[in-house]
Amino acid sequence: MRRIALHTRLKPGREDEYDDVHATVPAELATAIRAAGVHGWWIWRDGLDLFHLVEVEDYQRMRHELRDHPANIGWQARMATLLDVTDDYSGTDTGLPLVWALPAAPGGATA
């Protein structure tokens, strides 16, 4: 299992629309994402900047599997109207490089 961090950026003025669209992600898309090996996907937004954390078995495989999935094709077309990024869903990217992490405390203690 890998954690992949991603950064995308919204087109100015599309913040509310982006939030609204993500309030109702189609069940078919969620099913396809899980079938492609994703265990969790979180998105945070700071103004126009979007930060994603993806827990996935194999990120490149996931991207390749979703690239031609009908639910994802429609979703990516919709995202293209909102995002200030061109993404061909090739699966060749590797996400953001990890710079630092605080490991969990021994025994699972958090303090």
Residue 42 lies in a domain: yes
Residue range 31-45, pLDDT digits in tens: 999 999 999 999 999
Residues facing residue 96 across a β-bridge? none
- Domain containing residue 29: CATH number: 3.30.70.100
Torsion (CA) 47, 29, 20, 48 in degrees, nearest 10 = 10
Residue 91: inside a domain: no
Predicted local confidence at residue 55, as pLDDT: 98
Q: Note the pLDDT of residue 107.
A: 77
Instruction: Write out pLDDT tens, residues 23-78.
Output: 999 999 999 999 999 999 999 999 999 999 999 999 999 999 999 999 999 999 99
User: Residue 52 sits in which domain range?
Assistant: 2-85
Does the residue 37 lie in any domain? yes
Confidence label for 85 from pLDDT (cuts 50, 70 and 90): confident
Residue 93, class by beta-carbon neighbours within 10 Å (0-12 exposed, 13-18 middle, 19+ buried)?
middle
